[in-house]
Structure 1
Amino acid sequence: MMKQTMKRWSMLLLAAPILLTACSKASDGENNDEEVITTVNLKVTPHTGGGNLVVFSIDDPDGPGGNLPTQQNVVLAPNTMYHFELELLDKTKNPAADITGEVDEEGDAHRIYYLPSAGSNIQVTGLNNDDNGIPLGTTGFITTGAAGTGNLRVVLRHYGGNPPNKGAQDTWDSPKSSSDVDVTFNTAVQ
């Protein structure tokens, strides 16, 4: 019975397109309260020429376990630059708690990586920085090329240590950090 339960949990974790975790208090004396992130909103506005704000979401309002997350595909026009903001919410609270401000405040301990797939024809640049001049990534620019499909992986990493040991050259999978959020949006440039 225990083996079947473990197998079901393993399958649920692998099947979900979203990994939502939280920062927690570390044994090294770091004081980082645990938060749940249930929703990732990518808010996109054309950078020039005007246009409406469009929000693309990956949403798991009941948190880890329970119902599977819902996801919207990111659909953008070709050869266009967009300004974006990333919003992180905890919908297990009522009203929903906005975690984005905490990530900004603790910028030296966080970094958001944007990993577009080959063929997506999406490039992410101009990320905002933390107080030490190292990319944070709660805002930036998305530039599209010719029509194409693919995906855009968004990974929020937490850097431990007191002070945090985040460096400008750290990669998204640095052993110095752990994932707080790891989601993948399907994308279409058309």
Structure 2
Amino acid sequence: MKTIKLLSLSMLVLFIASCSSDDDGGPQIVNEEEVITTLTLTLSPQAGGADIVFTSRDLDADGPNPPTVTVADLAPNTTYTGVVQVLNETENPAEDITEEVEEEDDEHQFFYQVIGNAAVTTAYTDQDGDGNPVGIQITLTTGDASTGNLVVTLRHQLDKNAAGVSDGDITNAGGDTDVEVTFPVTIQ
């Protein structure tokens, strides 16, 4: 009998520890971060042609091995329609985390930052229910031949109303980073 009471008390403590208060004063289950091993950005030229695929795969997640990054050259002065996908490939079959991002789109946003001299601009083409960008779907436009990096970051529980965030500026977004990948970019 003492074991049953102790077990019941332990289960109650675990339940309370996994909850937090929301603004209404009631319990709210904490949303644990998902494991993201793979980020793929597929770019389709709007004028037609073969897709360009950028992939970062880190199958040991936070393990000691660096991710494997594959990229392809971009054409100059071209507009691409882009779609990003995030997966957890530690599970079999792989779990598509993009579906959760879509379901919780008001709490998530992808950011696309150009570092260096790459002549690249991006624009959001999808929105959450409040009209704020999500970034699963974008347009990416290249300029003249150049090189640099494209950093793709997924944030959750960010402030989408902070200055610049709706324009893709991560500076004031806050929140937590779910995944961040740097792709080398060559336009030629």
TM-score category, normalised to shorter length? 0.7 to 0.9
Q: Is 1:78 matched up with 2:42?
A: no
Deviations 1:145-166 (A, max 9, x none): 0000000011111116xxxx53
In structure 1, the residue corresponding to 2:112 is in which secondary structure?
strand
* Partner residue of 1:167 out of 145, 161, 167: 161
Aligned residue runs from structure 1 range 24-103, under 5 A: 27-28=20-21, 29=28, 31-48=30-47, 50-103=48-101
Instruction: Output the amino acid matched with 2:38.
Output: T
Note if contact 1:122-1:145 (Cα within 8 Å) is conserved in structure 2: yes
Q: Does structure 1 conserve the Cα–Cα contact (< 8 Å) formed by 2:114 and 2:151?
A: yes
The alignment partner of 1:117 has SS state of strand
Instruction: Classify 1:42/1:175 alpha carbon distance in 2 versus 1 (closer, same or farther; 3 Å).
Output: closer
Tell me the equivalent position of 1:116: 114
When normalised by structure 1's length, the TM-score is 0.77
5+ unaligned residues in a row in structure 2: which ranges? 1-17, 22-27
Contact 1:116–1:122 (CA<8 Å) still a contact in 2? yes
Secondary structure of 2:149's partner? strand
Distance 1:155 1:34 in 2: 15
Query: CA separation in 1, counterparts of 2:125 and 2:40?
Result: 16
RMSD of the alignment, in Å? 2.0
Q: What SS class does the counterpart of residue 125 from structure 1 fall into?
A: strand
CA distance in 1, matches of 2:112, 2:173: 18
2:36 maps to a residue whose letter is: I
Contact between 2:124 and 2:134, CA under 8 Å: does it hold in 1?
Answer: no
Count of equivalent residues: 161
Answer yes or no: is 1:184 the counterpart of 2:178: no
Q: Is the 8 A contact 1:56 1:74 kept in 2?
A: yes
Partner of 1:151: 149
| 2:83–2:138 CA contact under 8 A, matched in 1 | yes
Tell me the distance in 1 between the aligned counterparts of 2:83 and 2:149.
18
| 1:178 to partner: Cα distance | 1.4
| d(CA) in 2 for partners of 1:154, 1:168 | 19
Tell me if structure 1 keeps the 8 A contact 2:118–2:148.
yes
Give, in whole Å, the separation in 2 of the partners of 1:175 and 1:82: 26
Q: So what's the TM-score if we normalise by structure 2?
A: 0.78
Q: Shift of the alpha carbon at 1:62?
A: 2.2
- Choose between structure 1 and 2 for higher RCO, CA contacts under 8 A separated by at least 6 residues: 1
Is 1:137 the counterpart of 2:131 in the alignment?
A: no
Whether contact under 8 Å (1:149, 1:189) holds in the other structure is yes
Question: Distance in 2 between the 1:30 and 1:135 partners?
Answer: 26
Equivalent AA in structure 1 for residue 93 of structure 2? P
Q: Can you give the 5+ residue segments of structure 1 that lack an aligned partner in the other structure?
A: 1-24
